[in-house]
Every structure is written in C-alpha cells, then in structure tokens.
Structure 1
C-alpha cells in the first residue's frame, strides 16, 4: 500500500497525526506513507519513523491557486498512490488527491466535498470526541472498532543535532532543565499569565534548575516579561529561546527537559510526544478534545461555568479560567511529576 496523507496546518495537529501513521503501519508494515503538508512541518514529519517522505505544500491555507494545485497533482500522479487520507476538512484540501487521480480518497465530510472524496465518512463527534480518534478512525474501514489503547505520538530525536544545538545557543545540560512554553498561536485566551510563569521560573531557578523559554518570535514579549521576574543574580539560569531556534532545534532541545510547563499549544504536544514530564495548563479549551497523550503529564483546568468557550479572546474580559489557576497549582504538579528533582540543588 502506498498512502498520501494530506496533513493539517497546526503544529499540535501534525504531532497528533502520527497516531494515524502508526495505525497504518500496524496494519501494513511495508506501507509507504508520504505526507503533503506545509513546509514548516517538515522537521516534525522527519522525526516520525513511520513516514517515508514529507512533500511541501506551497499553497497557503486560505489560497485556492488552482494552477499550482494542478501542477502538484500532476507530479503526485506519477507516484501511483493507492489511497489518499485527508485530515483537513476543507474543500481545497481535497482538490489535489482528486486531480492526481488517487483511486481511494478518504476523509470526513466537511465543506462540499461530494465527488472529490469517494470514501466519505460522516463524523459522530460523540463516538470520537478526541482529535486523535478522528485521525486513527480514517486508517480503518468505516465503523470499525478503534485499537485500545490508541497509538501515542512518539517523535524521534536527532542526538547529533542536540549536541550542535547546545553549542549553537550556548546551553548546557549540567543542571535540571525546566522548559516553559507560554505562547499559544490560537490566541490570548489560551495563555496562562506571564506573571504566573515568572513565579514558577523564579522558584525553580532558586532551587538550582535552569529555565529554558520556548516559543516563536511572536512570544518574545511574554518570554522577556517572564525573565523580568528573576533577579539579575538568577537570570543567568534563564535562557530566552523564543524566536531564536528553528523548529528542529526546539524539538531536540526540549527532549533534554526534566519537566515542561505549557499552555494548550503545539509545543505542548511536542513535549508529550517526547515523553517529557508535562504540566499542561488549560483555560478556554479542554483536554476532552486534544489532551497530551504521554503517560507522565498532568492536566490543570478549573472547569468554570464559562469554560470551555473556545474563543481566541475571553468574551467576558476577565480570563478567570486562567487568572484563578494560581502558580501554586503548577508547582504542586511539578513536585508530583518530578519528585526529588525539585528539591534544592547546590550550585
């Protein structure tokens, strides 16, 4: 079997898509799996041993650009895929597999895709509440039972690049590392307050830990604010990597973390797929849909009457779902996950 997977456009979704690849390989160990996805996702795809190759999708998420899609489809047609599986629900995502003449084109009914897909599934959200269940279900005939337990994303690590990245960013792993991921691409409603991250960073730095701050260039302001909560004498233990690392370097460096604290974000799913001890902070969203899938994580969520709202910004303008979840809750979770490592370390 030769599969073309049309991948999702978000970091977390791409990580969770590995569950589908694992399910396909369990059924067909010799299967060839190629993934058509945005170019930024290649460092993640390359860390999935189930994937044969990643194919860059140069057409933006909201762009039709039918001429370019036809050109891509022509190139893919020569690869003679047996089946295409589409993870996005958009009409545009179904065009290339159809134009490429792939015999079986599988996906959930989304925008008007009748005719473009010939293995069109109707999603029962109650039956498949988890995103990973919706991905894995597409690996099996319709209405087939899902494997239990579900496959877990497990990214491989480039150990040679770990050493290069440590040198490149002037880091060391000679003391326990706390990775903090305070950003959220979706919007501010998913962001735990910078001051709370700052308190956690201060407490752990006082105990002898290093603090590595991860994120994109957009997160530089919040990571800089977090660093401001540490006195000058402790700032040497805190390293602001937001906007500095490539995605590949971020994955490999995070594999060194002894613990991670993260909002519900793509980096949270990366930390989980690296099996890092993880405290996942939820506010406007819920782990009932996209939880971290590692066994050594703890989910913190207040479950207020107004949440989950799934809004980019708090519609009530108070952010209680995050503001009322104090840093002591995270510190307690870190203690449970990390055990004796949170005791004070000399140095």
Structure 2
C-alpha cells in the first residue's frame, strides 16, 4: 500500500503524548517517506523539533471563542445594529459548536492514507471521519465504532502498559517482527536546557505536581525535606511544574536555609516551554517526580529517575524502558503491581500498593492519602544516594 500521509489524533495529556513515541517510531520505520501530521493539544508540539507537522486542535474552545468575538463586535453599535447582529448571530447557531469546529479543522487538513486516533474521545474519531481518510483506526469505545474503519477492542487491557495499547492500534499496519520489538521512548532534543553550566556539581530535578489532580502528588513537606537534603550536600536543585501555589509553598519552606544554599535552588515553575522542559530534564543527574507528563519525558530522555506512585496503576503508566518492558510486560512476566520498589537500569519506582489503590481519583476519596504519605523522604533519599553515586 502506497502511504504518503499519516494522520495521528494525539492524546490530550502530555504523558500520553510521550507514550505514543514507540508507536510513532515504528510507523516512521515502516513508512520512512510518509508525511506525519499530529493533531492534538499543545502537548503534541513535543514532537515539533522532529520534523513532524503539529497542529493544535482548538475545537473544544471554539464556541467560547466565537461568543467572545461576537461580543467584541457589538461594542460601539447602536440599538438597531445590535438587534440585527443578534438576529444574524442566532440564525447561524449551527456554526457555533464543537462538531462544526471539528469539521472545519478536518477539512483544513484533508485526507490521509492512514489515520489513527490515539485519543479515545468521540470527537477524536469524528475528526478522522470528517477528514475523509480511507483508513481510520481507533479503539471501539465511546460510541465511535461507526466512525472508524478499524474499531479495535482490547481483550485484556488491564495487563497492558499504555505504551503497548498505542502500539496495538498500529499492529496491522507494520511488520509483525517490528510490532514485537521493544523500543524505548524517544523524544527530539535540542540545546535549550535551562540548567546552570556547572559540571562540578550534581543537578537534581524535582517535579512536585501533577496535572490530573492532588491525589497523584507526594506530600509537599516530603519534597521540602528531600530538597533540603540535596542542598545540604551542595547539589543544584531545580523545581519544575506549573502549579504556582505549590511552588510558592515549597519555596517558603526553604526560607530558613543559608543564602548560599538558596542560590543553588532554581525555581523553573512556569518558566519552560516544552522544548526547554525536555532539554532541561535530559541534562539532569536525577529527577524525582510523581506520576506525570515530565516523568515520561525523563524516561524518554534516559534520565535517572525516582517515580512515586500512589493512586495510579504502575502496570499501566509506570516509566517505560527496555528492561522494565522485558521484565514486567512481556510473556511470562512478573507482575509490577505487586512490587513496592522496582529498580531497573536508571529508573526506580516506589509504590505501596495499599488495598484502596489504585483508585485513580483526582483527590483521595478516603481523605487520608496514605498511598503517598507512607512513602517517606528517607526511602527516597536512600535510593537517590545510590543512584547519584552510580
């Protein structure tokens, strides 16, 4: 089959975008001359530096944007003119909804020889359908099957990592040998790291937040204790994330430290674009993080990492590398869901696997948040010391 254009409707979350990396690599090996178009949230621009066309899908906010433009047009109009404007605006109600916006986006992109929806929403499949692409592949869920030419069902989704689920979608369009081959995550990198140019000291990254919700976040007091220990050892510590309030609380918790130590604490909260985030994480000696998008960036960058899990399922979204994949996600594998500590290559995964976990809730439904509280700073520091030495 001659394939010149491949269209990918990407997931909305940053971490999921990173986890499509293996599927994208295999498609690019199979179709080296094809043009790839990635459509999704701003997170898909993480691949922009890799010569892939990235288009932001703004259909969800389109109705709100249209209302804003209309209200702006009313400014300065007389009463009669405003009444006419309202009438015309009301008559064109069908042009102010997400379906119409999805249609406009699809038609602006056009047909593709192959199209895949890594996004599981109804609108992800509707978008592919509107493009008129002959082959439209996605999971059979959320009333999408009629919109897809290949609506696939997973027989045992609970035993598969999210990376494998994305690869499952492309298996009929690549060589069987390539499908079975285990690849590490991979992201394009450049030279936009924001780390201080000092090769005499260790550079450690801290990612205390998680976009999904507070349940995935380790206690801020624990992060403060770990940061204090690293600063005492003379290391540089970089704070990543987008939560300004959490960043302020952590910064306030470090005020008692000496001026010299505080100078080694660099707050990069809301100060990085995606390219800078990838390059900065890739340059670290160690990254300590919750289950989050930056965690998967660290895995794709082969950055030594300690990942802290509580309410989410390690068997679905743990950091992915070749050793973890072979040990826990291939045939005759050991279950990662029963391991309180996993250390494979340069990745350490901590999870207590309490009886109430994984609840997968945004906030702890039992309030106590013990799945994260029971992982202590001492445990993390002990692992960190061994990783920094090696």
- Please report the TM-score for the alignment, with normalisation by the length of structure 1: 0.87
2:182 corresponds, among 127, 131, 150, to 150
State the Cα distance separating 1:29 from its structure 2 match. 2.6
Is 1:330 aligned with 2:330?
Answer: no
Q: Is the 8 A contact 2:62 2:98 kept in 1?
A: no
Aligned residue for 1:247?
274
Q: In structure 2, what is the Cα distance between the partners aligned to 1:21 and 1:229?
A: 47
Aligned residue for 2:133?
102
Q: How does 1:20-35 map to 2 (within 5 A)?
A: 20-35=23-38
**Alignment deviations for residues 173-227 of structure 1 (CA, whole Å, 9 cap, x no partner):** 3421000000011111111111111111111111121000000144433442453
Aligned residue for 1:286?
313
State the Cα distance separating 1:303 from its structure 2 match. 1.1
Q: Tell me the SS of whatever aligns to 1:281.
A: strand
Change in 2 beyond 3 A, CA 1:62/1:179: farther
Aligned residue for 1:18?
21
Q: How does 1:1-347 map to 2 (within 5 A)?
A: 1=3, 2-42=5-45, 44-47=46-49, 49=50, 52-60=52-60, 65-77=98-110, 80-126=111-157, 129-141=160-172, 147-159=179-191, 161-162=192-193, 165=194, 171-174=196-199, 175-218=201-244, 219-225=246-252, 227-228=254-255, 230-294=257-321, 295-339=345-389
Q: Tell me the SS of whatever aligns to 1:46.
A: helix
Aligned residue for 1:345?
none
Q: In structure 2, what is the Cα distance between the partners aligned to 1:88 and 1:46?
A: 19
Change in 2 beyond 3 A, CA 1:62/1:93: farther
State the Cα distance separating 1:229 from its structure 2 match. 6.5
Query: Which 5+ residue runs of structure 2 have no aligned equivalent?
Result: 64-96, 322-344
Aligned-CA RMSD value: 2.3
Change in 2 beyond 3 A, CA 1:183/1:8: same
Q: Tell me the SS of whatever aligns to 2:138.
A: strand
Q: Is the 8 A contact 1:220 1:243 kept in 2?
A: no
Q: Tell me the SS of whatever aligns to 1:23.
A: helix
State the Cα distance separating 1:233 from its structure 2 match. 4.1
**Alignment deviations for residues 279-305 of structure 1 (CA, whole Å, 9 cap, x no partner):** 000011121101111341110001111
Q: Tell me the SS of whatever aligns to 1:224.
A: helix
**Alignment deviations for residues 296-347 of structure 1 (CA, whole Å, 9 cap, x no partner):** 111000111111111111111111111111011111221232225xxxxxxx
State the Cα distance separating 1:228 from its structure 2 match. 4.0
Q: In structure 2, what is the Cα distance between the partners aligned to 1:97 and 1:224?
A: 45
Q: In structure 1, what is the Cα distance between the partners aligned to 2:235 and 2:144?
A: 52
Change in 2 beyond 3 A, CA 1:138/1:337: same
| Largest Rg, 1 or 2 | 2
Deviates more, 1:117-126 or 1:98-107: 117-126
Q: Which has the higher helix share?
A: 2
Change in 2 beyond 3 A, CA 1:70/1:147: closer
Q: In structure 1, what is the Cα distance between the partners aligned to 2:61 and 2:320?
A: 27
- Please report the TM-score for the alignment, with normalisation by the length of structure 2: 0.78
Q: In structure 1, what is the Cα distance between the partners aligned to 2:311 and 2:158?
A: 23
State the Cα distance separating 1:126 from its structure 2 match. 4.1
Q: In structure 1, what is the Cα distance between the partners aligned to 2:102 and 2:312?
A: 34
Q: In structure 2, what is the Cα distance between the partners aligned to 1:149 and 1:283?
A: 30
Change in 2 beyond 3 A, CA 1:100/1:292: same
State the Cα distance separating 1:32 from its structure 2 match. 2.4
